[in-house]
Chains A and B, each alone.
Chain A
Amino acid sequence: MDASEREQYRAAIQGDREAFEMIIRTNGRALFAIAYGILQDRGEAEDVVQDSLVKAWKTRWRVRDPEKFPAWLATIARHRAHDILRKRRPFSYPCEGIGENEPIDTTAVDQKLHSALATLPELHRAALTLRYFEEMDYRSIENMLGVSNGALRGILGRSLACLRKQLRPALASMD
C-alpha cells in the first residue's frame, strides 16, 4: 500500500465520505468476488457487499491501522457471507475425481470446473476468484484476504492441484 492509499484509508476511517466512496470503488469487485466465492449466488453476494459496506462505515473507527482496512473489509464480507451460508446449506469439500468417464467438451469442462470449485474451502475459492476473474496480483490478494505471501502461495498451489486432480481427464484431452 503506497502513501496516498494509506492516506485515503486514514481519511475514510476519520469519516471522510469521499474517501470512503473511493474505497468502495476500489474494493467493491473484490468484496463481491469473496462473497461470490462463498455463496456462488450473485444476488446474495451483492447483498453481502452492500451489508458489509454499511457495517464498515458504521464501525470504521475500530480500525487502528489504515493498512489493515482492506483485510478488515474482506473479513466483514466473509463473516456476512458465512452467516447467509449457514442458514442455507451444509458445507463439504471432498477432493476426489468428478465424473471421470464422461465425454469431454467445453460445456462439460465448465460444469466440472464449477463442481470442482464448489469443493474448495471458501478462502481458496476467494483467492482463485481474485486471481483469475479480478486479475489481482499476489500482493493485492494478500492485502485483501489478510494472509502472508507464503500462505497465499500455499492456497493457490493447493487449489490448482485439487482442481487438476478433479479435471485430469479434461486436461489429458488438451494434449
Chain B
Amino acid sequence: MATAHNEIDNWLAADLHGELSADERSALHAHLVECAVCRKTHHETKAMNKILEETSLRKDPIQLSNNEC
C-alpha cells in the first residue's frame, strides 16, 4: 500500500498541483509533521514548483529553449 513516506515525490507533486484527495492531503501533512527528511524534500519541491510556475508565466517553452530573458 502506498504511503506518503514511500512515495513522497509523487505525493508532494500531486499536493502542489491540487490533485490529492482530502484524505491523502491530511495523511501527507500529518507525515510531514513527524518526518524531517520529507519536510526537507517538501521545502525543495515547493521551490522547484515555484520556479516552474514563474517560468511558465514569463515564457512559453519556445522562449525557454532559446535562453532568452
Query: Which A residues are closer than 8 A to B by beta carbons?
Result: 33, 36-37, 40-42, 106-107, 109-111, 113-114, 117, 128-129, 131-133, 135, 137-138, 153-154, 156-161, 163-164, 167-168, 170-171, 174
Number of interface residues of B (CB under 8 A): 29
* Minimal beta-carbon separation of A47 from chain B (angstroms): 14
Bound-complex Cα distance A117 to B67 (A): 13
Contact A174 B61 (CB under 8 A): no
Contact B17 A129 (CB under 8 A): no
CB of B3 within 8 Å of the partner chain: no
CB of B56 within 8 Å of the partner chain: yes
Q: Which of B11, B53, B55, B67 contacts A157 (CB 8 A)?
A: B11
| B:11-69 near A, CB below 8 Å | 11-14, 17, 19, 41, 44-45, 47-53, 55-56, 59-62, 64-65, 67, 69
Contact B62 A110 (CB under 8 A): no
Q: Which of B45, B59, B61, B69 contacts A160 (CB 8 A)?
A: B45
**Which 4 A-B residue pairs are closest in the complex by CB-CB distance?**
A157-B10, A157-B9, A164-B48, A171-B47
Interface of A is mostly: helix
Bound-complex Cα distance A111 to B5 (A): 32
Besides A117-B64, A160-B12, A174-B47, 16 more A-B contacts (Cβ < 8 Å) are A37-B61, A107-B69, A110-B55, A113-B64, A114-B65, A153-B19, A156-B13, A157-B12, A159-B13, A160-B13, A167-B51, A168-B44, A171-B44, A171-B47, A171-B48, A174-B50
Query: Which B residues are closer than 8 A to A by beta carbons?
Result: 7, 9-14, 17, 19, 41, 44-45, 47-53, 55-56, 59-62, 64-65, 67, 69
Q: Which of B14, B45, B50, B64 contacts A161 (CB 8 A)?
A: B45
Chain B residues with CB below 8 A from A171, complex form: 44, 47-48, 51
Q: Of all chain A residues, which has the CB nearest B69? A: A107
Chain A residues with CB below 8 A from B50, complex form: 174
A131-B17, A138-B17, A156-B17 in contact; A109/B9 too (CB < 8 A)? no
